[in-house]
Amino acid sequence: MKFLRDFLDKQKPQFEKGGRFEKLQSTFDAFETFLFVPDKTTFSGAHVRDAIDLKRTMSVVIIAMLPALLFGIWNAGYQHFLSLGQSPGFWPIVFYGLMKVLPIVIVSYVAGLGVEFIFAQYRGHEVNEGYLVSGMLIPLVMPIDIPLWMVALASIFAVVIGKEAFGGTGMNVFNPALLARAFVFFAYPVKITGDTIWTGGLSKGEGVVDGFSGATPLGNAAAGAIDKIPSLQDLFFGFIPGSIGETSKLAILIGAAILILTGIGSWRVMLSGLLGGLSMTLIFNLFAANEYMKIDPLTQMMMGSFLFGIVFMATDPVTAAQTTRGKWIYGFLIGFIAIMIRVFNPAYPEGMMLSILLLNAFAPLIDHYVVEANINKRLKRATTSVKS
C-alpha cells in the first residue's frame, strides 16, 4: 500500500490552504482518512487511546443493517413477481430487487453525502461519518416504488434541515433518516400511501393477479381487514409487502444482536421499547373495543416498522435520551405511543415514525429531569452537611 500512501502524500499539498484545490480539502481528507487511519498522535491527556473511532462505530451499524438490506432486495423481487403471478426462481428475483433497491441506495448516498461534504468544507470540519448510517437507513424505510428524485430530495432535506441547521452531526434533534421519511410522507402523501407503492412496478399499473392487493399488514389492519393480516411466520420472516428494510423481523433481530453484542446500540432502548409496545397492546387487549385493539401483542410487534424503528432508529445516540435512566423512559414511551398512534389514528398507519420523532423532541426534556434529580441529590447532601 506504499504507492497509495506516496500518491496521497504527493497530492496532499494541493488540497491544503493555498493549494490549487483548497476548496476540496474536506473531501480529500475524507477519502484519505477512509484509506488510512491518520498518523495523528496524542498531544494532551491520555497518551494511549482506544482503537475505536466513529468510522468503526458507523461501519458496525451498517453491518448490522446488511441482513435487512439483503432481505429487502430479495423481497422486492419476490413481491414484484408475486403480483405478476410468476415465480421465476432465486436469481431473477434478486436481480429485479437489485435493480430497484440499488439506485435508491446510491441516490441517497450521493445526495446526502454531497451536502455533507459541502457543509464540512464550508465549516472547515472533517466530514463526519454519521451520514454513512443515515444514508443506508433512508432507503430501508422507503417504499420500493418511490421515485428516485423523491429520495434525493428527502436526503437533502434530511441533511440540511435535519442536521446542518442544528449545527451538524451530534447536534441534531431529530433522526435525519426519519425526517427524510416524514418529509416524503407529508410532502407527497399520495405517493407514499396506499397499497400500490409497496410492490415494485405496481404503482405503474403493471398487471396484478387476482387476490394480490399489495397492502401492508398495517394497511389491512387499519382498513379493518384483520383477517387479511399474514401469518406470524410470514410476518417474522418477512414475506410481506412493506418498506424495503422493515419486513423481515429475523434480519432485524440479527442486526439487533450485532448492535447489542458490540455495545454500539443501546439494549436499554430496545428492551424498553419492546416493553412499551407490549404494555400498550396489553392495555388495548384488555379493553378490546374494536378488532384492531384485539390483535395479540406478538402480531402487533411484528407488523410494520415497529421492530425496525426500535432497533435502528430509536437507538440513534444523538437523538435518543443520553442518560441511562432517560433511555429507559425514552424507549418505553416510543413503543407505547407507536402502538397507540397506530391503533387510534388510521390516517397514520405507521405510528412508529411519528412516535420516534415525537420522543426525539422530548428526549432533552427527559434527560433534563433525570439530571435534575441528580442535581437535587447533590444539593440535599450539601445542605445536610452544612446543618450537621
Partner 1 sequence: MSNVIKIKKGLNINLIGEAEKTIKELSTDQFAIKPTDFIGVFPKLLVKEGDVVKAGSPLFMDKYRDNILFSSPVSGKVREIKRGAKRVLLEVKIESDGKSESIDLGAGDPLKMKREDVLDKLLKSGVWPFIRQRPYSVIANPADQPKSIFISTFDTAPLAPDNDLIVHGQGEAFQKGLDVLSTLTKGKIHLNIDASATQSKVFTNSKGVQINKFSGPHPAGNVGVQINKIDPINKGEVVWYLYPQDVIIIGKLFLTGSYDSTRIVALTGSEVLKPTYYKTNVGANLESLVKNNLTSVEKRFISGNVLTGTKIDPDGYVGFYSSQITVIKEGNYHEFLGWALPGFDKFSFSRSFPSFLFSKRKYSLDTNLHGGERALVMTGQFEKVFPFDIYPMQLLKAIMAENIDQMEQLGIYEIDEEDFALCEVIDTSKTNIQEIVRKGLDLMRKEMS
| 59 binds partner 1 per the rule CB under 8 A | yes
Residue matched to cell numbers 381487514: 225
Letters for 15-34 (x = contact with partner 1 by CB under 8 A, - = none) are --------------x---x-
Cβ at position 372, least distance to partner 1 in Å: 9
Q: In the set 7, 11, 37, 206, which binds partner 1 (CB under 8 A)?
A: 37
In the bound state with partner 1, the residue whose beta carbon lies nearer, of 10 and 47, is: 47
In the bound state with partner 1, the residue whose beta carbon lies nearer, of 247 and 323, is: 323
CA angle 297, 273, 198 (to 5 degrees): 70
Cβ at position 46, least distance to partner 1 in Å: 5
Scanning 184-192, 214-222, 228-236, 260-268 for contacts with partner 1 by CB under 8 A, the matching segment is: 260-268
Cβ at position 363, least distance to partner 1 in Å: 10
Distance CA(227)–CA(100), nearest Å, equals 30
Q: 187: part of which helix (H) or strand (E)?
A: helix 176-187
Q: In the set 19, 92, 317, 346, which binds partner 1 (CB under 8 A)?
A: 317
Q: In the set 10, 17, 20, 40, which binds partner 1 (CB under 8 A)?
A: 40
Burial of residue 140 (CB within 10 Å: 0-12, 13-18, 19+) is buried
Determine the length of the chain. Answer: 388
What backbone torsions phi and psi does residue 124 show, to the nearest 5 degrees?
75, 25
Cβ at position 378, least distance to partner 1 in Å: 6
| 52 binds partner 1 per the rule CB under 8 A | yes
Distance CA(269)–CA(42), nearest Å, equals 34
Scanning 98-106, 108-116, 191-199, 317-325 for contacts with partner 1 by CB under 8 A, the matching segment is: 317-325
Q: In the set 14, 27, 193, 262, which binds partner 1 (CB under 8 A)?
A: 262
State which of positions 359-378 bind partner 1 (CB under 8 A): 367, 371, 374-375, 377-378
In the bound state with partner 1, the residue whose beta carbon lies nearer, of 161 and 371, is: 371
| 11 binds partner 1 per the rule CB under 8 A | no
In the bound state with partner 1, the residue whose beta carbon lies nearer, of 157 and 328, is: 328
Distance CA(79)–CA(314), nearest Å, equals 28
Distance CA(28)–CA(41), nearest Å, equals 20
Instruction: Give the SS3 label for residue 247.
Output: coil
Asked whether the beta carbons of 145 and 201 are under 8 A apart, the reply is: yes
Q: In the set 11, 13, 49, 149, which binds partner 1 (CB under 8 A)?
A: 49
**Which residues lie below 8 Å from residue 193, measured CB to CB, with a gap of 6+?**
185, 349
Distance (Å) of CA 79 to CA 15, 61, 184, 195, 224:
48, 27, 22, 13, 23
C-alpha cell at 325: 435512566
Q: Interface residues with partner 1 (CB under 8 A)?
A: 1, 4-5, 29, 33, 35-57, 59-60, 126, 128-130, 168-171, 261-264, 266, 268, 317-318, 320, 322-324, 327, 367, 371, 374-375, 377-379, 381-382, 385-386
